[in-house]
Chains A and B, each alone.
Chain A
Amino acid sequence: MKIILPDKSSRETGPAMVTVEDLLRDLGFDPIEVIVSRNGTLVTEDAVVGNNDEVRIIRIAHGG
Chain B
Amino acid sequence: MYRDPENGRHLCREHFLADIEIRVAETIRSRNLIVKGDHVAIALSGGKDSTALLMILTKILPSLDSVRLSAITIDEGISGYREDTIRSADRLVVRYGIPHITVSFPELFGGTLDAFLKGREPEACSVCGILRRKALNGAAEQAGATKLATGHNLDDESQSVFMNVLRGDLPRLVRDSGSDSQGRFIPRVKPLMFVSEKEIAVYLMLHGMWADLPECPYAVHALRGEVRRMLATLESKHPGTMLNLMKSKAKIEAQCGGLLMKETVNRCRECGDPCSGEICQFCKLKKSLKR
- Once A32-B236, A33-B232, A46-B3 are accepted as A-B contacts, the answer to whether A64 and B50 lie under 8 Å apart by CB is yes
A31 to B236, CA, bound (A): 7
Most buried by B among A30, A44, A64: A64
The reply to whether B215 and A44 contact each other, CB–CB distance below 8 Å, is no
Q: How many A-B residue pairs have CB under 8 A?
A: 64
Mark interface residues in A29-64 (1 if CB within 8 Å of B CB, else 0): 011110100000011111000000000001011111
Q: Is chain A's binding surface mostly helix, strand, loop or mixed? A: loop
- Once A30-B232, A42-B205, A44-B3 are accepted as A-B contacts, the answer to whether A61 and B10 lie under 8 Å apart by CB is no
A30 to B85, CA, bound (A): 25
The reply to whether B219 and A64 contact each other, CB–CB distance below 8 Å, is no
A35 to B215, CA, bound (A): 16
Min Cβ gap A5→B in Å is: 13
Min Cβ gap A30→B in Å is: 5
**How many B residues face the partner with a CB closer than 8 A?**
33
A61 to B228, CA, bound (A): 12
Q: Is chain B's binding surface mostly helix, strand, loop or mixed? A: helix
What residues on B are CB-neighbors of A46 within 8 Å? 3
What residues on A are CB-neighbors of B47 within 8 Å? 61, 63-64
Say which residue of B202, B216, B236 sits within 8 Å of A63 (CB atoms). B216
What residues on A are CB-neighbors of B216 within 8 Å? 63
What residues on A are CB-neighbors of B232 within 8 Å? 30, 32-33
Mark interface residues in B199-233 (1 if CB within 8 Å of A CB, else 0): 00110011000101111100100000000100011
| Other contacts beyond A33-B198, A61-B212: 6, CB < 8 A | A30-B236, A31-B236, A44-B10, A58-B212, A61-B214, A61-B215
Can you give 25 A-B contacts (C-beta < 8 A)?
Answer: A30-B232, A31-B236, A32-B5, A32-B198, A32-B232, A33-B232, A35-B198, A42-B1, A42-B202, A42-B206, A43-B1, A44-B2, A44-B3, A44-B10, A58-B201, A58-B212, A60-B201, A61-B213, A61-B215, A62-B215, A63-B45, A63-B215, A64-B47, A64-B49, A64-B151
